[in-house]
Amino acid sequence: METVNQYTLKPTFGESFGTGWKVMMDNFLRLFLLVLVIGIIAAPYKMAHFNFGPGDFHNFPGGWDHFIRFSTFGVLAIFFGLFAMLYGLLVAPVFQFGADLMFLHSVRKIKPEFELLIQGFRENYLSIILANLLVLALVVLGFFALIIPGIIIGCRLALVPYIIMDKKLDPIEAVEYSWKLTKGHGWTIFFMGFVSIFIIIFGLILLIVGIFPAIIWVWSSFASLYE
């Protein structure tokens, strides 16, 4: 066990959530604003869900004119979906990794400056994008292999964003380092993720506004686990 600036840090389930709670209470307004900003940034690709089926273009009430209108809408929907996908792969990860660094600074008792949100655009943009893509691809491949391997990979690579921002490693090194760091802690990360789902749900039940402290607590806890 080690103590840094009054926070007790130990890679266990209880200590991570305990420290995460203290971090949230010490930096609530700043982290609350951070979660709001990240929510706004994530909105463009979170809302991009278009579902079209063969029956959507049958029996148009206005004939050919309505077919043209629906076709135009379909093209616009595809364009927006493509834009949202590119945004989610090439822009949003930079802000999300920057937010991870802000939470990490909070754990270290360093004032989390909002400039860190865009730091990735200036310093290690390519590493962030490639690391995010690599982790996503590995997790998806794992889920295709009967789901459980995907869960294992997701748990073992959960620290990649912190490593990329903190250690400035390249994507391959960050993945390998995360795998090394999480050795023996896979179940801890799994149970933290599992319990986090219920924390978020409980936050939503509390008239929705509880979702903000729930997210801050969970995010702070994972940053504490990394530290």
Q: What ranges do the domains of the chain cover?
A: 2-43+96-226
- Radius of gyration of the chain from its Cα atoms, rounded to whole angstroms: 20
Closest CA to 227 of 162, 160, 174, 161: 162
User: Roughly what angle, to the nearest 10 degrees, separates helices 148-156 and 186-205?
Assistant: 90
220: its two tokens: 């702070």
> CA 144 to CA 74: how far, in whole Å?
30
Provide the pLDDT for residue 45: 65
The 10s digit of each residue's pLDDT in 10-67 is 889 999 999 999 999 999 999 999 999 999 998 776 665 544 444 544 554 554 555 5
pLDDT number for residue 48: 55
pLDDT band at 75 (very low <50, low <70, confident <90, very high): confident
- What pLDDT does 9 receive? 86
Amino acid at the residue 198: F
* Predicted TM-score (pTM) of this structure: 0.85
At 70, list the tokens.
């629906």
Q: Hey, CA dihedral for 120, 122, 123, 128, is it positive or negative?
A: positive
The predicted pLDDT at position 71 comes to 64
Average pLDDT value for the chain: 87
Identify whether the C-beta of residue 217 lies closer than 8 Å to the C-beta of residue 199. Answer: yes
CA distances from 9 to 6, 39, 48, 201 (A): 9, 28, 39, 27
Higher pLDDT, 80 or 162: 162
DSSP 7: E
Residue 185 has pLDDT above 50, yes or no: yes
